[in-house]
Each structure stands twice: as C-alpha cells, then as structure tokens.
Chains A and B, each alone.
Chain A
Amino acid sequence: MEIKGSVALITGGDDGIGEHVAKFFAKRGAKVAIVGMHQENIDRVVKEIKEMGGEVIGVQANVISEADTAKFIKATLEAFGKLNIAVTCAGIIHDGMMLTLDKETGKVSRKMGLDRWQPVIDVNLTGTFLTLRDAAEAMVNGGWEGLLVPISSVNKAGQVGQINYSSTKVADALMPKIIIGEFLMRGIRNIRCVGIAPGYTATSMLTGMNQDALKALLADVHLGRLLEPDEIANMIGHCVENSALNATTIEITGGLCYPHGIAK
C-alpha cells in the first residue's frame, strides 16, 4: 500500500510517538486524523501539520469510550472519505508493585489497587481493541485496503513494577495473529495487521526522567541511546509499504538486552 494518498488515523497523535507518526505520514502525503485527549495539544499538532502543508483534522476523544471511538471514525470518514491506516499510540502507565511489604514485619502493607490497574487496562487494551475494531469495520464496509497497527512495547516480555502495563502490551502484541486469523476465516484479504513493540524511545516520558536512571536503562541497549520517535514512525511506514508484513508484532529496540547481554 502506498502512503501517499492514504488516510491514516492515529490515536495518541497529540503527543509522544503518535505525534511523530502523524507528522511522518503527513510529510509522506497521507491525510491524517489525529485523536488525543488534550485539545491544546491537538490544536498545536494540527497547526504544525497544516504549516507543513499536510491534510489534517484533529479530534478530542477518549479511546476507552465506544461513543468517542465512533465519533473519531465518523469524523475521519466525513473529512477524507475513507480510512486505510489505524495506529493505536494512545497509552498510559501507572507503575507500581502488586504487593508492598512492611520493612519491619515483612507482612503486606499495601496492594496495587484497581485505581492503578484498571485505567491502564482500559486505555492500553480496551482502547486499542475499540479503535482497531471500529477502524476495521469501516475498512471492511468501505472496501478499502487497510493496515491496523497496535502499539505494543518491548516490556511485553514482562517488567517488574509494570504488571498492569506489561499485561496490556503482551495482549496488544497478540492481537495481529488473532485479527488476521479471523480475517482469513471471514475472507477479508485486503486488511493487514502488524503490531509494533518499541523499546526505550526519546519521548517526554523518558527524557524527563532521572538522568542516572536513564543511564542505567541505556546500559542494556546495544545501540547505546534512546530510539528517536521518527525511527518508530519509519518502521510503521515500512509496514504500510511492505505487504509481506502481516499477523505479527515487530520489536524495534536498538538491541535491548537483559543485564549481562542476554537477549530480551
């Protein structure tokens, strides 16, 4: 599928990796619908893409809402008349241990509550499901060639302190196999699904963190630096153009290893 002339929808497109993906597609001649939670961020990104000469709309929406999902799909179709690419960059973290022990007694003093668990499941898993489901519905009903791109994470391998986040990202990574298997059963041949699992990427979430902690993270990255969001966007662009990529999730990490160089 060619990027130029296609219509791309990016949730979480108002910040972080999603913003770079939106700008990458706009630069390459795609029409872009940006979905985000924060109207001011959306206004900024839409303005910047307009100044680049891109075709763009921005929609404020919460990906965990079915009504909001229907809203941004309808708005995209109203503006551009079709939908070809859906990238689910919307995601959050609420890190914490499942159990915290009292140092003196050794007994459990605190448990991870649903207030920390549920929002991560809702945004990263349910939100991804709703966006992919409704985007696929539009593509099937419209008869358009399409690509669904759930954004997973290298922490799908399991990260201490992220039982909520890692659980959602391993589920997101599994979606392409299930979705394409279902499409094969249903005779849907014109829509592909490829997940992307980025490693540590230079978004505000990481560049703003404690620099010593960041240095420790990078010690296990063969590349020796954070990934640039544009490198993730480039990979997604490659997935659009290479129709052999399908029903899988691709890691892009710069060579992230466990300590002592064991491949993650």
Chain B
Amino acid sequence: MSPRLEEFLFAPANARSVAALRIGLAAVAAFAFYPYDTGALATLVQAPWLVHLYRDVIQTKTYWLLTMAALAAFAAGLWSRPAGLLAALLLAPYVPIQGVMISRYLLWFAVTALSLLCSDRRWALRSLIGFPQRNDVGPTWPIRLIQLQLSTLYLVNAIAKSSPGYLSGGALAAMSTRLPNFLVQCADGLFTLAGISIPLGIAAAATVAIEYCLAIGFWFPRLRWPTAVLGAVFHAGLTRLITIAALDIASVALYAAFLLPVRSPRARVASNVASR
C-alpha cells in the first residue's frame, strides 16, 4: 500500500469529529427512521413470513423503542461501539421500506461504519463519569467509507440522469404530471422556481451538472465548502419541487463527513514531519 493511501485510510481519526458525527448522525437517524409502523416492504422481499415478521415484531412500538434506546446510547457515548452496532443491527430491517429506502440506507450505512470507531471517549457520558478522554478512536477509513458512499449516491444519480430522455426535460415533465409527490406541474415544458421560469431541458441539465459537482467537488479540499453550499441550495430547491422523504436531510447531514477534519491533529503533525 502506498504511503499516501496508507495515510488516507489508516491515519488516526479526529476524535472530536468522530464524536460530532456520532451525535449528529444518531439524531438525524432517529428522525429519518420515524414513523416505524408505516410503509410496505420493498417488492423484492415480500415473502409472507417476512410480512408477518414486520407486522408483529419489527414495526411495533417495543422494537422501535429498543432501537431508539440503542441509538441514544450510541449518541451519548455509552459504550458507543456495541451500542452503535446494536443500533445498526436493529435499524437494518427498517431500510427496505418503500419510499424511504435510500435515505434510511445512507444513514444505516453511516451509523454502521461510525460504530466501528471507539468514539465513547470524547463528548460522551462515559468521560463525564470518570473514564479518561482519549484521542485514539481508530483509523480514518470508516469515515472515508461514509464519504465514498455519499459521493457514490450523487455519481450514480448523475450517470443515470445523463440520458437523452432526462436531459431533454421529457422525464421531468412526465414525472411532474404523474408522480403524487411532485409539488409543481411542468407539463408546459417550463419549471418555475422563485418566479423564474426555466425550460425543463435546462433545469434537467443543471440538475445533472450539480450532481456531478457534488460527486466530485467534496474530494478537493478547496472546493469542500463551496460544494457543500451548492448541495444545500440544491436540496433546498428540491424540497420546493418534490417531496422525497428524508433523503435531502440525510444527504446534507453526511456532508459533515467531508467538512469536519478527518485526521487527528497528531496525525497531521506526524505527516508534516514525515514529508520534510
């Protein structure tokens, strides 16, 4: 493994960033995984015994409260690794619910990856009750995975939309008249936002260009904040166009994995010394 890749994946993770991600993602997940008792299983997994399992066990208040308790323990830094892994295990069955699959998958993946790190030593109840605060939470690669997952989301969406049918605006026109969660009608070939009418082809092309920017921009340190602002504006605009469950919030919440320092200051100092 090259030294740069070694450092990219195995440098010590920043303990404060990991703690902030742990708390923030747990809060967003609690929001995105509610309500627990609505929605049908995805078509792929509609075996009768599974439908019964969901109705009688998983989509019940008891199961959901247990899941939230594990998530709360993870957020509070009470043995965050086992609590986080338990939360991920309990959250997993909620992922394949139609209508919310992608936002829940994103957050489930992030909670699972983050629970691999020992982040219960900073900004955690354990440290308040006397356990020492330590900086060695683990390597950076779980955070790199969260970053990679976010970029993959934008990239595959941009690629899927790079088709003549989408870029012409025809798909958006049809969706606006057919899909119940579209908030605007664009059958006349124009998309109107904040009083400005834009031809649908231009709106579609802009959407695709923005998704490519969001897939790539976060990987360039100088472009991180501009990319995050672009993403926040993009998702805020989308909420005026379409209701897509918690996907906007889940996506923007994961920007923190890029915006917070990933490596610990100790690693940055060591890296600078090594490069001299």
Physical interaction between A and B: no
